[in-house]
Amino acid sequence: MLNERKRRILQAIIDDYISTAEPIGSRTIARKYDLGVSPATIRNEMADLEFLGYIEHLHTSSGRIPLYKGYRLYVDDLLTPTRLSSNEMELIGQWYDTKVESLDEVFRETAKIISHLTNNISMVITPQLAESVFHYIKFVPLDDEHVIAAIMSDTGYVENKIIKIPNGASVTDFVQMAQVLNEYLSGKKLNEISIGALHSMRTEMVDTAAFNKIMDVVEQSLAGEKRNQIYREGMPQLLDQPEFHDINKVKNILKMLEEEPILRDILYSTAQGTAGLTVTIGEENKYSTMQDCSIIKATYHIDGQPLGTIAVLGPTRMEYSKIMTLLEFMNENMAQMLKKYL
């Protein structure tokens, strides 16, 4: 356990390093932070913190920077809570009002908002489709020759596809087929719907050609692993971080984030089904490529059911308090936004 003075000095070091990305020395701490002790005393305490593994020298500079252990204590016990500014909350509200018109845009624009406000990589993973419940299928006329087929689950789109109307069929035929499918599939989990059973409905359909077109869409939507989608934003912004001026290091991180199985593993490893926020720092990350990074994750819910994850990835020198506050705010409002478009 650290005494109060060491804790305040460690907090000052981390706060300053997050803000400036520069090592900080004892004289700077004494000048900038009202700790009530001399630079010599601060220097001695910094030596103890270094010995204990919370901070380290950077090259030959007299300044120190935080280590993983320091960040961990900082996040768990030292950071000062922040609040979103009125301008930030107004921006979020306007962003949704002007850019979101459908359910999938909720996820896409949420990722953009978070990346914009944090200057880091943001990730939003949509609900797990296999566990979703069929909501409805509908067909919307696009022009004289095409309709848009939209299959909805209780938590999001499964498929949204343009279908050419077969010769001899009409939009009315598609509407009638949708009624039959909706009656049959209502309330069923997507992973419980049998493609064979769908084919047995052929006799209830009006037009065989149109039926085949619809079944192609339904089967494509319900077959396979029914994987959820991941929206990512802010990938190039890593280049703006001083820690990642090494292009090869950034390329390795970005390359890994393009690997969907790895990304899903990262997002679901600890956040899925948990309450509140999960923060993994540096060496806590499972993949060695990520050990200069931290990830903050939150699991969003509807009616108490965990649906997906929102996350921010950036350098260990990230603004933990601001990002945690933002994710808590977005997490609390996701359910309301999703219900609006279900």
For residue 232, what pLDDT is reported? Answer: 92
Residue 61 confidence (pLDDT): 66
How many whole angstroms separate alpha carbon 35 and alpha carbon 297?
Answer: 33
The 3-state DSSP class for residue 161 equals strand
Separation between Cα atoms, residue 31 and residue 198, nearest integer Å: 74
Helix H or strand E segment including 230: strand 230-233
Q: Give the pLDDT band (50/70/90) at residue 37.
A: very high
Whether the Cβ atoms of residue 136 and residue 183 lie closer than 8 Å to each other: no
pLDDT of residue 271: 46
Q: Angle 19-22-26 (CA atoms, 0-180°, nearest 5)? A: 100
Beta bridge partners of 163: 147
Instruction: Tell me the pLDDT band of 87, cut-offs 50, 70 and 90.
Output: very high
Answer whether 147's CB lies under 8 Å from 163's CB.
yes
Q: What are the pLDDT digits (tens) for 108-138?
A: 999 999 999 999 999 998 876 556 778 888 8
Match 């991941």 to its residue by tokens: 230
Mean pLDDT score, 81-97: 93
- Rounded to an integer, what distance in angstroms lies between the CA atom of residue 121 and that of residue 311? 8
Average pLDDT over residues 2-11: 96
Task: Give the range among 41-45, 65-69, 235-239 with minimum mean pLDDT.
Answer: 235-239
**Residue range 62-88: average pLDDT?**
93
Alpha helices by DSSP H, listed for 77-161, are 86-99, 103-118
Place of tokens 């016990």: 77
- Burial level of 5, CB count in 10 A (0-12/13-18/19+)? middle
Residue 272 — pLDDT band, cuts 50, 70, 90?
very low
**pTM of the full structure:** 0.76
Q: Which amino acid is at 112?
A: K
Residue 274 has pLDDT above 50, yes or no: no
pLDDT band at 224 (very low <50, low <70, confident <90, very high): very low
Residue 159: the pLDDT is 64
Using pLDDT thresholds of 50, 70 and 90, give the confidence band for residue 223.
low
pLDDT at 174: 85
Q: 82 or 211: whose pLDDT is higher?
A: 82
Query: How confident is the model at residue 235, as a pLDDT?
Result: 85
Give alpha helix (H) positions in 52-163: 68-73, 86-99, 103-118
Mean of pLDDT over the chain: 84
Backbone angles phi, psi at 244, to 5 degrees: -120, 35
Mapped onto helix, strand or coil, the DSSP state of residue 327 is helix
Three-state DSSP class for residue 315: strand
Q: Are 127 and 306 in contact (CB under 8 A)?
A: no
Q: How confident is the model at residue 147 (pLDDT cuts 50, 70, 90)?
A: confident
Q: Yes or no: say if 88 and 79 are a contact pair by the CB < 8 Å rule.
A: no
- Give the pLDDT of residue 273: 44
Give the span between the Cα atoms of 63 and 297, in whole angstroms: 31
